[in-house]
Amino acid sequence: MKKLLPLLLCACLLCAPFLSGCTPAANEKPSSITVFNWEDYINPEIFDLFEKETGIKVTYTRFTTNEEMYLRLDRGGVNYDVAFPSDYMIERLVKNDLLLPLDHEKLPEFKNTYAWLQTPDYDPESKYSVPYMWGTVGILYNTEMTDGEIDSWGAMWDAKYLRNVLMMDSVRDSLGITLCYLGFDLNTRDETQLAAAAEMLKEQKRSGVVLAYGVDEIKDKMVNNEAALGLVWSGDAITSIDLNEGLAFCVPKEGSNVWIDGMVIPRSSKNPEGALAFINFMMRPEIAAMNSEYIGYSTPNEAAMAILGAEYSENPIFNPPAEVIARCKFFHDVEDALETYNRIWEEVMNE
C-alpha cells in the first residue's frame, strides 16, 4: 500500500488537468431553459428580464390545448423545463408520473399566492405545481350583432346567429359547456349524458350556426366583428374588449368551468434548477403584475393584485364575483372516459 500511494498520487496529479477540465463543466448549470406555454400567454419582456438577472436564456415554445401539450410531454423526445398545464391535466400528468416534485425551498415567492389557491384539490400540497393564472369560460359577444344581454349557452345554438358562432376547438371546453347547458356535470362519465351532448354539438354544426372552430384566433375574429358570439376564456375576453368596446362577456346562468393553470417541471427537464429559478421569478409580485396586465388573465398572486389595483380587482371578468364562481366547476381528469370524449370530438369535427 505504501508503494502504491505515491503511484496513486502521481496518477491523480496526471489526471488532474482532465479532471479539473471536467469538474467545472459538470457543475456548470446549463445556461438555458425551454418554456412550453400556451399561445399569447406570457409577456415576452419577462424573458429578457430573467436572462439579464440570471444569465439563463429562455427558449419559448407554444401549444394550443392541454391535450396537445400532454401528448408532447408523454411522447418524450423533446426536453421542456417549465410547462403550463391546467388543473385536470396536472392531475393526469401526476398520475402518469410525468412531473418532477417542486423544491419549495427554491420557491420563496410562492408565499404571494392567495391562500385559497395554495391548496387546489388537483395538487393539495402544491407538490408538483404552483398556480400561474386562473379564470372562467364564457361567451364573448358583439353587442351590435346580438339583441340584448346574453346570459345563456342557448344563444350559441340559436338559429338567428346563422354562421355567427365561434366554437372552441378544445374537447373539454366545448363538451363542458354543452354538458352545462344540458344540466349535466361537466366531468360526467355517463355514456347517455355524453351521447346527448355529442348530439347537441353535431346538431349545432349541421344547423349552420357555427362559423368556425378555433382557439386563439377566436379573439381576433371577435375583435374584427367577424362573428356575433365566441366561446372564450376570460382573459381573452378582457384583451378583446380592450380592443373593441362593442364586445361583452358573460358566464351563462346554466354554469360553466372555472380553471387554474399551473407552472410545472416535466420529468424530462434537463435543467430543473433553472426551471425553479424561472418559476420563482414569475411569482415575484412586480413580474406577476406586469404579466397579468399584458395578457389580461387573472393572477393568483395576492401581492401582484395589490399592485394592479382597483381597475383590475373591480373588473368582474378579471375578478369574478362569488355568485359567478359559485355556478362554475373545475374540470377533473375523466380517466378512462377520455376515449369517449375524444371520439365525440372527432365525430363533431367530421360531421
Q: Among residues 37 and 269, whose Cβ is nearest to ligand N2P?
A: 37
**Coil, helix or strand at residue 301:** strand
Among 29, 32, 40, 221, binds ligand N2P (CB under 6 A): 40
Among 261, 268, 287, 301, binds ligand N2P (CB under 6 A): 261
Least separation in angstroms between CB 93 and ligand N2P:
15
User: Which part of the chain contacts ligand N2P (CB under 6 A), choosing from 33-41, 72-80, 150-158, 323-331?
Assistant: 33-41
Q: Among residues 84 and 157, whose Cβ is nearest to ligand N2P?
A: 84
Q: Among residues 40 and 199, whose Cβ is nearest to ligand N2P?
A: 40
* Cβ neighbours for 84, distance < 8 A, ≥ 6 positions apart: 36, 37, 38, 41, 69, 132, 261, 262, 263, 264
Report the residue count for the chain.
Answer: 351
Please report which residue ranges of the chain form alpha helices under DSSP H. Answer: 4-27, 45-54, 66-75, 87-95, 171-181, 191-206, 217-223, 234-243, 272-282, 285-295, 302-308, 310-313, 322-326, 338-350
**What residue type is assigned to position 68 of the chain?**
E
User: Which part of the chain contacts ligand N2P (CB under 6 A), choosing from 36-44, 47-55, 118-126, 195-203?
Assistant: 36-44
Work out whether 331 is an interface residue with ligand N2P (CB under 6 A).
Answer: no
| Interface mask toward ligand N2P for 75-94; x: CB under 6 A | -----------x--------
Least separation in angstroms between CB 263 and ligand N2P:
13
Work out whether 259 is an interface residue with ligand N2P (CB under 6 A).
Answer: yes
Torsion of CA 210, 212, 216, 219, to 10 degrees: -60
What is the C-alpha to C-alpha distance for residues 100 and 231, in angstroms, rounded to an integer? Answer: 33
User: Which part of the chain contacts ligand N2P (CB under 6 A), choosing from 38-46, 90-98, 103-111, 275-283?
Assistant: 38-46
Q: Beta partners for 249?
A: 140
Least separation in angstroms between CB 74 and ligand N2P:
19
Query: Distances from the Cα of 266 to the Cαs of 44, 78, 124, 193, in angstroms?
Result: 21, 11, 18, 34
Binding site for ligand N2P (CB under 6 A): 38-41, 86, 216, 233, 259, 261
